[in-house]
A and B are shown apart, each in its own frame.
Chain A
């Protein structure tokens, strides 16, 4: 399973942008970059995914490096409800999602 590396924890302030990094230097050409988050006492929740181009949706933006060896999940204006563990996962669709430790994001009021 292709591996990703994320910081164990990050902290930000409410209403400020948050940039969550992910390194995936061994990514293959067919790996999609998926992000999920897990709120306290909840199952994981899909956030966004991309292949090569940057992606935007109502929850977040995903910026993918040109060489695809890293990506950044961007929360444009963090709220207290964004406090969660964020997982960056390489996924080929026909396989299972393999979760790492993720980044625990704390949002300060």
Chain B
């Protein structure tokens, strides 16, 4: 198992374009989280899935953001009509079922730059 995988690692896009990021969690981890991190700040929670169900969304997740986890395995985070303020590191994390462990495993993130 290679851990949580995020692709791409880096993305540069023009303002107004749509972007999509992918997260492959550790196998058999039923919980999946998305976070956003800007320079000098701690990660900010965006959304949480348990299996394919999206159980919680932050107020930070505006209507331009959408996340899916269609079969309870990988997840995608799409940002439509990107703005310069969307420039950040987008982190994905996964966790095993609660009965096993509460530890979260993070990927290395996707760094988005909107120009």
Chain A: residues with CB nearer than 8 A to chain B?
32, 34, 36, 41-46, 49, 85, 87, 91, 93-94, 96-102
Contact = CB atoms under 8 A, between A and B. Distances in A.
Interface of B: 4, 33, 35, 41-45, 48, 56, 91, 93, 98, 102-109
Main secondary structure of the interface of A (DSSP, over half): loop
Contacts, number: 46
Contact of A32 (B33, B56, B102, B108): B102
Given A87-B42, A96-B48, A97-B93, 16 more contacts: A36-B104, A42-B108, A43-B91, A43-B93, A43-B106, A43-B107, A43-B108, A43-B109, A44-B93, A45-B106, A93-B98, A96-B33, A99-B42, A99-B43, A99-B44, A101-B42
Contacts of A93: 98, 102
Nearest to A1: B45
Contacts of A41: 108
A46 to B, nearest CB: 5
B98 A101 contact: no
A87 B4 CA distance: 20
Nearest to B102: A93
12 contacts: A43-B93, A44-B104, A45-B106, A46-B105, A91-B102, A93-B102, A94-B98, A96-B45, A96-B48, A97-B45, A99-B44, A100-B42
